[in-house]
Amino acid sequence: MYDLPGYRRPPAGTQPNLVHPPYRSTMTRAPALPLVPLPTTLSEITGPLFGHTQVRPKDSDLTVHHAGAPLGERIVVTGRVLDADGRPVPNTLIEVWQANAGGRYRHPVDQREAVPLDPNFTGAGRAATDADGAYRFTTIKPGAYAWRNHHNAWRPAHIHFSLFGPSFLTRIVTQMYFPGDPLLALDPIVMGIPDERGRQSMIARFDLDATVPDVALGYRFDIVLRCRDATPREDGTGWS
Amino acid sequence: MVLIPTASQTVGPFLHIGMNELNTNEIVGDGERIAITGRILDGEGQPVPDAVLEFWQANAHGKYAHPEDQQNKPLETGFTGFARIPTDTGGGFRLSTVKPGPVPARTGGVQAPHILIGVMARGLLARLVTRIYFSDEAANAADPVLALVAAERRATLIARREDGKDRRYVWDIRLRGEGETVFFEC
């Protein structure tokens, strides 16, 4: 018998709706039928564990992988990975990827030749959290990215974050945004989240303490993963 | 302290830049080798060439490589139970793995052998979660999760055993529309 505590669900509206017509490709790719509620079993509360063994020290500095320094505004992005009860999530892998300072991705699908590639920037990084759940990346601030969702559509500057956490249910891929970006309110991917608290959860804040004098502006971005319920739910759904 | 979990966003079309080094289409382990192949199709029947699939499974004994699994069952060295596969230009994938064993159900009994799948892609604002079961498993009839799914939709969760000597299964994902795959909220 494996009657295990499940994972608490996020407050309603703080995660995106799958079908969000302003983001056009949801209309061909997001399921039209309702999701089927799945009680938490041993299969879901386990999951792949990735941490320090997957990461080399250089992986968290996106500015040192080529002969020269990349163009753009150098930044530090640092923060902690916590669970929803505020406990640190140690030794968990973070994968990031991003556009260069001009907003161009080093990817065959991004063919916008008006925006140059930077020979000194790939845009991929990895880090593992320490015992206190803390991580730190050095990179350059990505540019806004023009896309074809609608007329004059621009994605706000963002860094993609991918995390595993301690179970299959804590897996999340999100995007980190920058404070004060006027494109946020116009972006159908951000606005696919109905509740302002959910949208705010993705916006880093400028942090003078994380700023390196003469070198890089600092941004703080804490990431919160779902956490376990204290006890199994009596209704058997494993969640509240 | 109660914090709001960080919101999910799409992986977008350029996921391959950052979701790369963990990728493998092979899960090594003891037991019966099988291959699962399939394609992901969108609501218009078009292949999805820019998705990534993540697989999570128990070993042939029904034991997960994870500390929460306290069962007294063997766990062979080298078995991870995880694979991550970006779809190819035709929306296809191929997983080579060991057939998982049955794992405990929530309230006693067992779940039929299955693999968890997370699907991420441009156009998906959050990961979709589904399961693969196996068409040649009698245990499917008593599986408590399959029982939650409307009978007419269960086939979307079941990989079809192909005739022939090699143990090959075919399992397609239909993200939307006719024959839409069952996705779970968990």
pLDDT in tens, B147-159: 999 999 999 999 9
- Quick check: is A135 catalytic? no
For residue B95, list its beta bridge partners. B36
Residue A239 has what pLDDT?
33
**Residue of B99, B129, B95 lying closest to B113 (CA atoms):** B99
For B:150-169, CB contacts with A below 8 A are none
d(CA A129, CA B124) in angstroms, rounded, equals: 27
The count of structural domains within chain B is 1
Catalytic residue among A74, A80, A126, A158: A158
pLDDT digits (tens, 9 = 90+) for B109-137: 999 999 999 999 999 999 999 999 999 99
Q: Which chain A residues are Cβ-neighbours of B123 within 8 angstroms? A: 23, 25-26, 28-30
Active site residue A112: no
Residue B58 lies in a domain: yes
Angle at CA of residue A172, ends A167 and A178, nearest 5°: 145
Q: Nearest to residue B181, comparing CAs of B130, B144, B140?
A: B130
Asked whether residue B182 is assigned to any structural domain, the reply reads no
CB-based contact (8 Å) between A191 and chain B?
A: no
Chain A 132-151, residues with CB within 8 Å of chain B CB atoms: none
CA-angle at A98, arms to A104 and A106, nearest 5°: 45
Say whether B185 and A35 touch across the interface (CB within 8 A).
yes
Neighbours of A214 (CB within 10 A): 5
Structural domain of B165: 20-174
Between strands A74-83 and A217-220, the pairing is parallel
Residue B3 domain flag: no
Residue by residue, DSSP assigns A115-128 as S---TT---EEEEE
- Looking at per-residue pLDDT, the higher value among A53 and B34 belongs to B34
**Sign of the torsion formed by the C-alpha atoms of B99, B104, B110 and B111:** negative
Known catalytic membership, residue A155: yes
Complex ipTM, two decimals? 0.97
Which parts of chain A sit beneath pLDDT 70?
A: 1-3, 231-240
Write down the pLDDT at residue A240. Answer: 29
Write the CATH number for B156. Answer: 2.60.130.10
Contact A30 B175 (CB under 8 A): yes
A125: which strand partners? A96
State how far the Cα of A166 lies from the Cα of A50, in Å rounded to an integer. Answer: 9
Q: For residue A4, give every residue at least 6 positions away whose Cβ sits within 8 Å of its Cβ, in sequence order, or none.
A: A40, A41, A42, A45, A232, A238, B68, B106
Nearest chain A alpha carbon to B12: A160
Other beta carbons within 10 angstroms of residue A35's beta carbon come to 16
pLDDT of amino acid A236: 43
Using left for φ > 0, alpha for ψ between -120 and 50, and beta otherwise, residue B182 falls in beta
* A163 φ, ψ (degrees, to nearest 5): -130, 150
Is some CB atom of chain A closer than 8 A to the CB atom of B23? no
A168 contacts: CB under 8 Å, gap ≥ 6: A43, A44, A45, A46, A47, A48, B56, B116, B118, B129
pLDDT, residue B166, reads: 75
pLDDT at A197: 98
B22 CA to chain A: closest CA distance, Å?
Answer: 8
- The answer to the question of residue B8 being in a domain is no
Task: Encode chain B in three state secondary structure.
Answer: CCCCCCCCCCCCCCHHHCCCCCCECECCCCCCEEEEEEEEECCCCCECCCEEEEEECCCCCCCCCCCCCCCCCCCCCCCCCEEEEECCCCCEEEEEEECCCCEECCCCCEECCCEEEEEEECCCCCCEEEEEEECCCHHHHHCCCHHHCCHHHHHHHEEEECCCCCCEEECCEECCCCCCCCCEEC
- CB–CB contact B9 A175 (8 Å): yes
Using the beta-carbon criterion (under 8 Å), do A31 and B183 form an inter-chain contact? yes
Q: Does A230 touch chain B (CB under 8 A)?
A: no
Q: How far apart are the first and last CA of chain A?
A: 21
Under the phi-then-psi rule, with left for phi > 0, alpha for psi from -120 to 50, and beta for the rest, what region is A176? beta
> Is residue B184 in some structural domain?
no
CA B166 to chain A, closest CA, distance in angstroms equals 27
Rounded Cα distance between B57 and B97, Å, is 10
- Radius of gyration of chain B, Cα coordinates, nearest whole angstrom: 17
For range B84-103, the mean pLDDT:
98
With tokens 């269960």, the residue in question is B154
Q: Does A54 touch chain B (CB under 8 A)?
A: yes
Residue A178, CA atoms < 13 Å, CB-side half-sphere: 19
- Among B42, B108, B116, the residue with its CB nearest the CB of A29 is B42
Task: Indicate the residue of B14, B66, B176 with minimum beta-carbon distance to A47.
Answer: B66
Helix, strand, coil share (%) of chain A residues, nearest 5: 15, 25, 60
Question: Chain A within 8 Å of B72 (Cβ-Cβ)?
Answer: no
